Chain A
């Protein structure tokens, strides 16, 4: 029982990281309909921004983290204005954009590997303190991760619900043609989506790098987690992306408990395929988006 509680606690901590990752993916997918595979590249670059600033340049952690988030937001803008925007201009099909995005991920991953080497980089730090909460032990880093991620998520959801700008952004996904005819600039708003999503990716990226280090080939792994979270929860509503992320993390904990960590990826995808079979629009999805023939 204690083990189960501990695993659920770990699931919630990792869940808050995954929830933020899924939200960053879902925001792009919901508004632009891009299956943003280069997301993995953004994640890796954010990790290395932080690594370079914190471990190489030895800037204080908070400043390094803030600067990395800024750089990552800038990267999001760059990817939109120099990559996706041109693909949109040529009216590429969604399959073509997906493949191009995959190409971009491969380019970024290997450029990082060429620059920093293929091995895992760790940020030197003191061992983290343990916090005891009844039968559960949580390390100080885990607690920080959960708090920062949940706060960010809460702020994001409040702004999605109440801010006019964020509501406008969500409207892009519903009907881009109508959006433009209401004299909103599609380009600017899409760029903004990438900036927000870029800065959201950076937060879990920094926290994970700080805790366990990073290597150039983690991008695909976290992209898959984020995408599965979004699809599992359902594409339409913002809160369902986050819940999808939590669901995966808890499933992972249970799989590690019952089997071993080797099977966690198999588990993730099996769950996704089963859910999509019975509910093609995700657990909390409303519209059927899979076969709109």
Chain B
């Protein structure tokens, strides 16, 4: 039962990641490979602002930790990646097409290097352990089953918020920019401003997912937020399909259950990791050839 609850929690986290990436990649048409970077910044913001409790081992090694009460770590986890996206978006969004992909790839490498190398702030490759569990109304959420209702609620709320965004004039203006940026700008849609908004919002939602991940696993290290993770999130979106509401969840369901299905096949651990990666690679290449809009998607890459 715990196992199933755990899977559903992971689906909740990745659904938020996929839907938030859908905003910039599916609706805006810009392939973004630094989503894991923002996800990681959110996770670290949450972890640092909660790990400063008395008797915390990690806190002694770090320059800044805090023990903020409930809503504040979440606010920081949203604000930090959003601010960062605002600053970096002004640079990366000057590019379109392949150059945007490469600029975000560079950003991903830089964010990972910062998490990995700034040992006084992030504890480097050792990561942050002993993150306290979430406490709501005096109940500590420690097991996957306890986390399930809470995480389910956050995921559904985020989904509803993003759905509103997708259907708002803002979402439609992104579609217009994706389809024909010249025509869109001729009716008064400013490409840079709309894309910057989409970039900031998608980073903010990635921050929520990051906080959920940190509070749930209670240990984070930079390797959870590297380039591979960004590619994984992008694969989810491209496999399920982007540019509409049903695509991302199909992708999340498949990509989260795939490793579990492979585990039941009984591949030895040494092979399993590589075999999984090969399947991701084949998926990406085959998708682009046979169905660039993904399984249930609308936007063709």
| Residues of A bordering B, CB below 8 Å | 35, 83, 86-87, 90, 92-100, 102-107, 109-111, 113-114, 118, 220, 224, 227-228, 231, 262-263, 265-266, 269-270, 272-273, 276-277, 280, 290-291, 293
Closest to B92 in A: A273
Q: Categorize the interface residue count of chain B.
A: 35 or more
Any A CB within 8 A of the CB of B297:
no
Q: Give CA–CA (A99, B33) in the complex, Å.
A: 11
Partner of B31, one of A98, A100, A270, A290: A98
Closest to B182 in A: A293
Any A CB within 8 A of the CB of B200:
no
Query: Are B301 and A114 closer than 8 Å at their CB atoms?
Result: no
* Per-residue A-contact encoding for B39-58, CB less than 8 Å = 1, 0 else: 00000000000000000000
Query: Are A273 and B91 closer than 8 Å at their CB atoms?
Result: yes
Q: Give CA–CA (A276, B98) in the complex, Å.
A: 13
Query: Are A102 and B231 closer than 8 Å at their CB atoms?
Result: yes
Query: Are B285 and A95 closer than 8 Å at their CB atoms?
Result: no
Any A CB within 8 A of the CB of B224:
no
Query: Are A269 and B107 closer than 8 Å at their CB atoms?
Result: yes
Partner of B289, one of A100, A118, A291: A100
Q: Give CA–CA (A98, B287) in the complex, Å.
A: 12
Which segment, of B72-80, B258-266, B274-282, faces chain A?
A: B274-282
Any A CB within 8 A of the CB of B99:
yes
Query: Are A103 and B292 closer than 8 Å at their CB atoms?
Result: no
Q: Which residues of A contact B257 (CB under 8 A)?
A: none
Any A CB within 8 A of the CB of B209:
no
Partner of B106, one of A103, A110, A272: A272
Closest to A104 in B: B285
Write the nearest CB–CB distance from B48 to chain A, whole angstroms: 21
Q: A102-B231, A106-B281, A262-B113 are in contact. Are A114 and B106 (CB under 8 A)?
A: no
Given contacts A95-B101, A109-B277, A110-B277, 19 further A-B contacts (CB under 8 A): A35-B101, A94-B98, A95-B97, A99-B234, A100-B284, A100-B285, A103-B283, A103-B286, A106-B277, A110-B278, A111-B274, A228-B106, A231-B99, A262-B116, A265-B110, A269-B109, A273-B92, A290-B95, A291-B95
| Residues of B bordering A, CB below 8 Å | 31, 91-92, 94-99, 101-103, 105-107, 109-110, 113-114, 116-117, 181-182, 227, 231, 234, 238, 271, 274-275, 277-278, 280-289, 292, 300-301
Query: Are A90 and B289 closer than 8 Å at their CB atoms?
Result: yes
Q: Give CA–CA (A280, B231) in the complex, Å.
A: 26
* Majority-rule SS of A interface residues: helix
Q: Which residues of A contact B109 (CB under 8 A)?
A: 224, 265-266, 269
The 10 closest A-B pairs by CB, nearest first: A103-B284, A106-B281, A103-B285, A269-B106, A107-B281, A100-B288, A110-B277, A110-B274, A96-B288, A266-B113
Query: Are A273 and B98 closer than 8 Å at their CB atoms?
Result: no
Q: A35-B102, A95-B98, A107-B278 are in contact. Are A266 and B110 (CB under 8 A)?
A: yes
5 residue pairs A–B, Cβ–Cβ below 8 Å: A100-B284, A102-B231, A276-B95, A290-B99, A291-B94
| Centre residue among A103, A105, A262, A266 by max chain B CB count within 10 A | A103
Write the nearest CB–CB distance from B236 to chain A, whole angstroms: 13
Q: Which residues of B contact A270 (CB under 8 A)?
A: 110
Q: Which residues of A contact B91 (CB under 8 A)?
A: 273, 277
Query: Are A99 and B284 closer than 8 Å at their CB atoms?
Result: yes
Q: Which residues of A contact B227 (CB under 8 A)?
A: 220
Q: Which residues of A contact B289 (CB under 8 A)?
A: 86-87, 90, 92, 100
Query: Are A110 and B281 closer than 8 Å at their CB atoms?
Result: yes
Query: Are A266 and B277 closer than 8 Å at their CB atoms?
Result: no
Query: Are A96 and B117 closer than 8 Å at their CB atoms?
Result: no
Query: Are A96 and B301 closer than 8 Å at their CB atoms?
Result: yes
Q: Give CA–CA (A262, B124) in the complex, Å.
A: 12
Q: Give CA–CA (A272, B96) in the complex, Å.
A: 16
Q: A96-B301, A224-B109 are in contact. Are A102 and B96 (CB under 8 A)?
A: no
Write the nearest CB–CB distance from B117 to chain A, whole angstroms: 5
Q: Give CA–CA (A105, B285) in the complex, Å.
A: 10
Query: Are B274 and A114 closer than 8 Å at their CB atoms?
Result: yes
Write the nearest CB–CB distance from B279 to chain A, whole angstroms: 9
Q: Which residues of A contact B271 (CB under 8 A)?
A: 114
Q: Give CA–CA (A97, B103) in the complex, Å.
A: 17
Q: Give CA–CA (A96, B300) in the complex, Å.
A: 8
Query: Are B292 and A93 closer than 8 Å at their CB atoms?
Result: yes
Q: Which residues of B contact A106 (CB under 8 A)?
A: 231, 277-278, 280-281, 284
Query: Are A99 and B102 closer than 8 Å at their CB atoms?
Result: no
Q: Which residues of A contact B281 (CB under 8 A)?
A: 102-107, 110
Q: Which residues of A contact B94 (CB under 8 A)?
A: 276-277, 280, 290-291
Closest to A100 in B: B288
Write the nearest CB–CB distance from A71 to chain B, whole angstroms: 21
Q: Which residues of B contact A35 (CB under 8 A)?
A: 98, 101-102
Q: Which residues of B contact A83 (CB under 8 A)?
A: 285
Query: Are B278 and A102 closer than 8 Å at their CB atoms?
Result: no
